[in-house]
Amino acid sequence: MEREEIEYLYALKRFGMKMDLEIMKNFVGLIGNPHNDLKSVHVAGTNGKGSVSKLVYEILRGKYSVGLYTSPHLVRFTERIVVDGKEIDEKYIVDFVNKYRPVIEKLSEKSRNPTFFEVTTAIALKYFKDLNVDISVIEVGLGGRLDATNIIMPEISAITSIDKEHTNVLGKTIQKIAREKGGIIKPNVPVVVGEHKKAARVVLERIAEKNNSEYHNVKDECMYGELNLSLKGMEFNLETPVRTYKIRTKMIGRHQVRNIMVAVRIAELLSENYKISKSDILEGIERAKWNGRFEVKKENPLLIFDAAHNPAGARVLTKTLRDLHISNFTLLFSMLQDKEIENFLRYFRGIAKRVIVSEINYYRGTPLSELEKYASKYFTDVIAVKNPCEAINIALRDDTVLATGSIYFLGELERCLQP
C-alpha cells in the first residue's frame, strides 16, 4: 500500500475513539450514504462477535455475494474488509483516501475529523456498495449504541455475549453495558441473543420489546448434545426450532457452541427472505475458520494462538485448555494498557508453568516492566523479553506454548513466524 495514504489513515488513530454518531453520519452523507443501499447483518458482543460474523458470512457465501467487515486485523489492514473470500484491493483504499481526504479535513475545521475507525467503516460500506454485494455482515467495533457501524439498518441484529470490558466507556455494570450493546436493536428488526446472564437478558428483552423487535435467545430456543472436542475441531448435534443439525466445525471451545447457535438462528431467520438451505448452513460452519481464535499454528512443538483479551475471554480459554487436557505450558503474553491485565492472568495460575512477557509495538501497548510486575504476582517463573520475535523463539524451546493477550501481539508474532 502506498506509504503516504496508509500513514494518513493510521494517523487518525491519535484522535482515539469518539462515542457519538453525528460526525459519522455527516461523513457518510458526504460520500453518498452507501449504507442506505446495503442489506446487512449487524453483530455486537463483548466476546464472540467476530466468530459469529465469520460463521454467518461463510453460511451466506453458499449462494450469495457477501461482504464481511471485522476489526481489528491480525497482520494486514485489508483483512478487515472482505468480499467473497478476497480482501479489499489496496488501490481502492489509496483512491478513497486521496478522494475524500479534503472531506475529512473540512469536517475537522467545522467540529472534528472522523476517527480511524469511522473512516475505515465508511470505506467498508462504500466498498460493499460499489461491488454490489447481496448482503454484508458488519461487526461492531466497541459497544453498539454509539459505534460507528450503528448507522446501518440491518435485516437482523445479534448480540453474542455481555461481560465487563471498556467500563470507562460503556459503564461499570452488566446492565449498563447491555444497554449500550442493545443499542443496535432496531425497530421491527429481529435480534438473536447469545447472552445467558439474567441481568443482561432483562435489559435486552426490554429494548427489543420497546422496538417491537422479535427477540430470540439461543438458550431458550436451542439444545445441543454431546460435544466431541479435539485440536482439529468439534462435532455435536444441535436442535433449533426449525430442525436438527450434525455440526462439524474447525472452531474449538465450548464457547463456540453458543456462537454457532447464534449464527444458525441468524441463518434460519434470514432464510425467510434468502435461499439458505440446511446444507448451506452445515457447509458454511464446517468451512469457517477464524484466525487467532484457538488457532493451532504448529503441532510440534504445539503452538496455539488465541486473541483472548479480557478476563471473560481468559475464562473460556482456560476452560478449553482443560477440556483438551493441556497444562504445564509456556504462556507467551502481552496486552494493551486499557485492559484488565491482572484479572486476565489470574485465570492461568495453576495451568501455565511459566510466563514470557513481551511488548507490543503499538501506541497503547503496556510497558515490559508493568507486564513483568503483573505476571510476577501469579507466577514464579517469569521471563521478560522486549522483542516479540526473540520471545517466541525462546518460548518454542518448550513442548507447548500458548500465545495470547492481544490480537495486535498475535499479529506481531505472526510476522515473526513468516519465512
Q: Kindly state the cell numbers that stand for 44.
A: 455486537
Residue 302 CA to residue 146 CA, distance in Å, equals 41
- Percent of the chain clearing pLDDT 90 (strictly above): 85
pLDDT digits (tens, 9 = 90+) for 60-75: 999 999 999 999 999 9
- Over residues 37-56, the mean pLDDT reads 96
Phi, psi at residue 243, to the nearest 5°? Answer: -165, 180
Q: What is the pTM of this model?
A: 0.94
Q: Is 343's pLDDT higher than 70?
A: yes
DSSP assignment of 172-223: SSHHHHHHHHGGG--TT--EEE----HHHHHHHHHHHHHTT--EEEHHHH-E
Write down the residue that cell numbers 461482504 correspond to: 67
Out of 47-51, 229-233, 256-260, 336-340, least confident range? 336-340
User: Under CATH, what is the fold of the domain 3-287?
Assistant: UDP-N-acetylmuramoyl-L-alanine:D-glutamate ligase (3.40.1190)
Out of 13-27, 148-162, 291-305, 374-388, least confident range? 13-27
Which residues does residue 177 pair with via DSSP β-bridges, in sequence order?
A: none
Q: What is the pLDDT of residue 4?
A: 79
Domain boundaries, the chain: 3-287, 295-417
Residue 394 CA to residue 328 CA, distance in Å, equals 16
Q: Supply the CATH classification number for the domain 295-417.
A: 3.90.190.20
β-strand pairing of 156-159 with 40-44: parallel
pLDDT digits (tens, 9 = 90+) for 375-408: 999 999 999 999 999 999 999 999 999 999 999 9
Nearest alpha-carbon partner for 284 in 306, 266, 308: 266
The per-residue pLDDT of the chain, averaged, comes to 93
pLDDT digits (tens, 9 = 90+) for 118-148: 999 999 999 999 999 999 999 999 889 999 9
Residue 38 CA to residue 127 CA, distance in Å, equals 11
pLDDT digits (tens, 9 = 90+) for 81-130: 999 999 999 999 999 999 999 999 888 887 788 999 999 999 999 999 99
Write down the residue that cell numbers 435461499 correspond to: 275
